[in-house]
Homo-oligomer: A and B are copies of this chain.
């Protein structure tokens, strides 16, 4: 077998002649982000006939133009945010070979870049105290096996002193226990908001919400398979029914305040539905409930909840006997779940259950879910 020296080997090899400092020649610069929000994408592809820039970008797909095999495209005036994109080279979806930063959504990779606000982004690591992230396994008897989970503990948490509030943060269909970190930038957000006093120091628990999967793709006994986002809908083996096991694990192993005023649950899409259901099933547990583009259905996917639903309404009545401090629905005006949520708000209105509602631009996107979390976190645990 022919062995190639790895990039690390190559570096060391270059070093032998270059002495002090060594640069592994980078594969080019792309994207180049200007101070004015102008972003330029570059690709050397002399053999390509057509290259398009695609992703969550205005005006996409964008035709790239070439000169001597160097393809380029620019976008002006991007607002500070995270953007994802990829190249379509002669119709093949590819990563930008100059950008090593990628995120995975189900089976698809995208490159990402960040436009900052004069150098600052809540989604990037800043020079502030940093919390710790743990990848732990817990036992679920209900779901039958060990399951993987991500847990953020804030700066100063030492496992010995204090009692911390806790947020359970749930992903959507196709996501996993990595999604809120990789796509959602939760860790950076928490560090940044806690440092400026905008959010309380809290523990954030990010489990895997797929009842049939024990861990994110690549971390389970399924090996390096191609994820497809299957979901169990067996109500007897549901994530929601097994959720108390997660709470018990967290309360046994971390210094958390178990009282309602110090417990929050939130999620996006399917996870928003989970937060909705779990907060009803544990009516004395959560004073803070966040539903981001939530999949509010009970009897079947896509079916709105009947205004006098014989199971849901009594559960809500029980939950709202002592109403949550903050019961929040956030959704984009182009979200395909918009009507479903409008229907559910009618239900809440008709029964007089109090809630807050936030409507943004856009649809069912991580851009929105990150924005919602940025708005949600400062509202938590401020009432005592």
Contacts and interface: CB of A to CB of B under 8 A. Distances in A.
Interface in A39-66: 43-50, 55-60
A234 B136 CA distance: 38
Contacts of A125: 215, 219-221, 223
A90 interface: yes
A27 interface: yes
A358 interface: no
Contacts of A3: 56, 332, 334, 362-363, 365, 367
Given A27-B107, A94-B97, A230-B21, A301 B16 contact: yes
A158 to B, nearest CB: 8
A107 B101 CA distance: 9
Interface stretch (A169-177, A341-349, A371-379): A169-177
Interface string A354-384: 0000000011111100000000000000000
Most buried by B among A91, A92, A104, A270: A92
Given A2-B60, A135-B132, A224 B23 contact: no
A57 B2 CA distance: 7
A328 interface: no
Interface residues of A, number: 115
Interface in A69-128: 89-95, 97-102, 104-109, 112-114, 116, 121, 124-127
Interface string A136-178: 1100000000101000000000110000000000001111000
A206 interface: no
Contacts of A282: none
B229 A23 contact: yes
B8 A173 contact: yes
A22 interface: yes
A16 B173 CA distance: 13
A283 interface: no
Interface in A209-223: 215, 217-221, 223
A26 interface: yes
A249 interface: no
Nearest to A302: B16
A1 interface: yes
Contact of A44 (B92, B99, B228): B92
A67 interface: no
A133 interface: yes
A330 to B, nearest CB: 15
Given A9-B269, A16-B301, A230 B97 contact: no
Given A137-B132, A215-B125, A365-B5, A93 B101 contact: no
A215 B133 CA distance: 14
14 contacts: A3-B363, A8-B268, A12-B295, A13-B364, A15-B173, A26-B228, A27-B93, A89-B90, A94-B95, A94-B97, A98-B107, A100-B108, A113-B224, A130-B137
